[in-house]
Amino acid sequence: MMTGWQTANTQIIPFFGKPEWIPGNSPDYADKSERTDANKKLRVIVIDDETLIAETVVEILKEEGFEATAVSNGASAIELAKTWHPDIVLSDVIMPGLNGIETGTKILEVSPNCRIILFSGQAATVDLLEKARLQGRSFDILAKPIKPQQLISAIRGTTGYLS
């Protein structure tokens, strides 16, 4: 998303976490073909009620070779998942309407092979995750603020990313 004052060469610096990494300049992966199947980009739905965060995460993911799209609520994500069939859903936990855990559970009903990764900066998340665990659901979780390298490692399944 570009505004009138931006140019095509404007670099996006994430506003969450430390700006240690610039999109497209990841030191961990020199060759994008090593990160994703050459014939298929991983599809990622990013859900956050803070639109700027969701759009920033989508831009980071696209720079890293993922096919990504953002939505601002759980209901929209569920509807999108029915037709778009994501490989991964990255969702904030605490949102108006459906929270990230409820959304992830419903997405797994329509897309059972989808991986759900949640992120949150609120203490209430612990109770919600425990309730989901008691119902037989387990989700990966990232703590806010998320560092871009941490996010990419989580999506790629690299160990050591949970906070």
Confidence band for 65, pLDDT divided at 50, 70 and 90: very high
Confirm whether 27 is domain-assigned: no
Question: What residues does 110 pair with on adjacent strands?
Answer: none
Confirm whether 29 is domain-assigned: no
pLDDT of residue 49: 95
Q: Each residue of 12-26: pLDDT tens digit?
A: 334 444 434 444 444
Confirm whether 133 is domain-assigned: yes
The reported pTM is 0.69
Q: Each residue of 94-104: pLDDT tens digit?
A: 999 999 999 99
Residue 89: which of 48, 119, 54, 46 has the closest Cα? 46
In degrees, rounded to 5, the angle at the alpha carbon of residue 143 between the alpha carbons of residues 82 and 96 is 50
- The torsion angles phi and psi of 150, rounded to 5 degrees, stand at -65, -40
Structural domain harbouring 96: 38-156
Residue 142's SS3 state is strand
Q: Is the model more confident about 125 or about 20?
A: 125
Share of the chain above pLDDT 70, in %: 71
User: Per-residue pLDDT for 38 more than 60?
Assistant: no
Q: Which two tokens stand for residue 43?
A: 């599809």
CATH number of the domain enclosing 69: 3.40.50.2300
Confirm whether 32 is domain-assigned: no
Confirm whether 7 is domain-assigned: no
The DSSP bridge pattern shows strands 67-71 and 43-47 to be parallel
pLDDT of residue 124: 64
Residue 34's SS3 state is helix
Confirm whether 49 is domain-assigned: yes
Give Cα 1 distance to the centre of its chain. Answer: 18
Q: Each residue of 149-161: pLDDT tens digit?
A: 989 988 887 533 3
Domain count, the chain: 1
Confirm whether 114 is domain-assigned: yes
Q: Which amino acid is at 155?
A: I
- The torsion angles phi and psi of 28, rounded to 5 degrees, stand at -75, -25
In degrees, rounded to 5, the angle at the alpha carbon of residue 75 between the alpha carbons of residues 70 and 80 is 55
Confirm whether 33 is domain-assigned: no
